[in-house]
């Protein structure tokens, strides 16, 4: 059997299409990721980055890190193009920054070619064809994509091409209307033939750099020429006899979740007060990468996001989490590629704007995760969107499936909490009493489930059969066939 769970029906459909013509999970993931650049424009782009946690049928495990890299040079003699983006979730507000000075070096294109080089079985031409057609013919905007676009709409106001694509006639593209990216279609047709150098070594990179130099960004040609995908060993931890394989440092999402799971291991059951304490432990590590590194060394004695999973009939599996942040608003000339705003994400530069270090792989909360059972068999693949909420969202689903023995559908859709910056957010119907909430802890009972709490798409092997779920908080979809 095969299974796919994803954040959009088009992304899922393309993965299924590749599996049905004999591709493996990794082929399907490449094609699905390409398709998501059109179907999920708020969360995925050739101008963004991603992590892919993979497990092969012969038992190999690795994480492909093709997240964004900081520029080599922070010096900029002209005023920076760094534009505030205010986002209102209704019950919570956040601020980000877009513009050319918010852009880091994207890894999406390098990543798909590296996955194909290592694990692919079908020619790139075949894997690119669905995305090329989708970009040309367009994808209808669904409810969730429109909601996300409405949250981010101000980022498109500063660039002509962004306005043409996302705000035709001055109004945000509406539900049911078709988003077409014709210049992306042409670029993708060129890209599969020429390989990643078509982006990192040629005219595309030169155009981005020219605009950065003239209009207030940081990127230079060497930033693009030197980008590479890293293959890393996952962080390994144990929770109730299950082995958890997570995204390693320098990204923090997997390690923070490991901190939480290690804490919960000391209790027979994860009661709300224990879960709150686990969140507290995770918070204490969050802004201290050196502390996280020390934590891993000590325990090694016993290492606007979207997500999709593919599990194929041979037993190959991939969990891939991708993002462009909120997007910079800058569309690469001649390509319809929307560039990321990773340098304008407070969670990625927690010590203040422009505090990032030069020429390093940015840390991320993204945490595609793979779970093996006590027999060392592939049991569950999962990931989530949701920025800083990602580690806690996945942790709670793992507690629900592994400890409480819920099936993955019920586990993913169950109400969740999130604790951060001395504030507790609680979804409706979450079983917690006022007495279990520490005195003087600021807390809020939400009126309805929300994308604020993430979107945990997952696939689980249960009683010899695959079971998949797409989190309804983010209009997720799933199929087993």
Catalytic residue numbers read: 305
**Alpha carbons 40 and 19: distance in angstroms, whole number:** 21
**Nearest alpha-carbon partner for 88 in 152, 144, 157:** 152
Provide the 3-class DSSP secondary structure of residue 39.
helix
Answer whether 471's CB lies under 8 Å from 452's CB.
no
CB of 51 within 8 A of CB of 364?
Answer: yes
Q: Are 180 and 138 in contact (CB under 8 A)?
A: yes
DSSP, residue by residue, 183-219: HHHHHHHHHHHH-THHHHTSHHHHHHHHHHHHHT---
CA atoms within 13 A on the CB side of 430: 26
Which burial class, exposed, middle or buried, applies to 310 when counting CB atoms under 10 A from its CB (0-12, 13-18, 19+)? buried
Give the Cα separation of 42 and 98 in Å (integer): 13
CB atoms within 10 A of CB 204: 22
- Cα 270 from chain centroid? 27
**Nearest CA among 190, 183, 142, 147 for reference residue 39:** 142
Q: Which of 330, 317, 362, 350 is nearest to 45 (CA)?
A: 330
Beta strands in 56-109 (DSSP E): 61-66, 83-88, 93-98
State the alpha helices, DSSP H only, in 300-407.
390-398
Distance between CA atoms of residues 393 and 445, nearest Å: 17
């Amino acid at each position: 059997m095969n299974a796919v769970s994803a954040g959009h029906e088009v992304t899922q459909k393309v993965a299924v299409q590749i599996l049905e013509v004999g591709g493996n999970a990794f082929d399907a993931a490449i094609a699905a990721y390409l398709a998501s650049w059109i179907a999920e424009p708020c969360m995925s782009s050739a101008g963004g980055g991603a992590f892919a946690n993979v497990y092969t049928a012969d038992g190999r495990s690795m994480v492909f890190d093709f997240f964004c890299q900081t520029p080599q040079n922070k010096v900029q003699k002209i005023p920076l193009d760094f534009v505030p983006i205010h986002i209102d979730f209704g019950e919570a507000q956040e601020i980000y920054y877009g513009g050319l000075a918010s852009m880091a070096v994207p890894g999406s294109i390098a990543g798909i070619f590296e996955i194909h080089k290592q694990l692919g079985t079908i020619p790139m031409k075949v894997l690119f064809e669905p995305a090329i057609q989708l970009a040309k013919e367009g994808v209808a905007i669904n409810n969730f994509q429109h909601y996300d676009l409405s949250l981010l709409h101000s980022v498109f106001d500063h660039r002509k091409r962004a306005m043409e694509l996302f705000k035709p006639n001055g109004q945000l593209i509406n539900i049911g209307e078709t988003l077409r990216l014709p210049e992306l279609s042409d670029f993708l047709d060129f890209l599969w033939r020429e390989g990643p150098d078509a982006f990192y070594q040629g005219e595309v990179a030169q155009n981005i750099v020219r605009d950065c130099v003239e209009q207030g960004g940081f990127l230079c040609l060497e930033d693009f020429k030197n980008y590479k995908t890293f293959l890393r060993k996952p962080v390994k931890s144990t929770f109730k006899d299950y082995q958890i394989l997570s995204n390693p440092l320098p990204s923090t999402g997997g390690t923070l979740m490991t901190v939480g799971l290690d804490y919960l291991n000391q209790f027979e059951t994860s009661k709300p007060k224990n879960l709150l304490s686990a969140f507290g432990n995770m918070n204490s590590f969050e802004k201290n990468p050196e502390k996280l590194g020390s934590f891993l060394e000590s325990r090694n004695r016993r290492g606007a996001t979207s997500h999709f999973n593919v599990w194929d009939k041979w037993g190959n599996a991939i969990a891939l989490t991708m993002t462009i942040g909120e997007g910079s608003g800058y569309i690469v000339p001649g390509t319809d590629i929307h560039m990321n705003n990773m340098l304008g994400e407070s969670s990625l530069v927690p010590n203040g704007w422009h505090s990032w270090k030069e020429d390093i792989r940015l840390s991320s909360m993204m945490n595609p995760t793979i779970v093996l059972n006590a027999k060392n068999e592939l049991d569950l693949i999962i990931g989530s969107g949701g920025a800083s909420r990602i580690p806690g969202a996945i942790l709670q689903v793992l507690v629900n499936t592994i400890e409480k023995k819920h099936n993955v559908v019920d586990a993913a859709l169950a109400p969740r909490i999130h604790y951060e910056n001395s504030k507790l957010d609680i979804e409706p119907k979450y079983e917690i009493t006022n007495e279990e909430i520490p005195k003087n802890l600021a807390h809020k009972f939400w009126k309805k489930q929300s994308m604020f709490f993430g979107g945990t798409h997952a696939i689980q092997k249960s009683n010899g059969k695959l079971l998949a779920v797409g989190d309804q908080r983010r209009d997720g979809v799933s199929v087993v066939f």
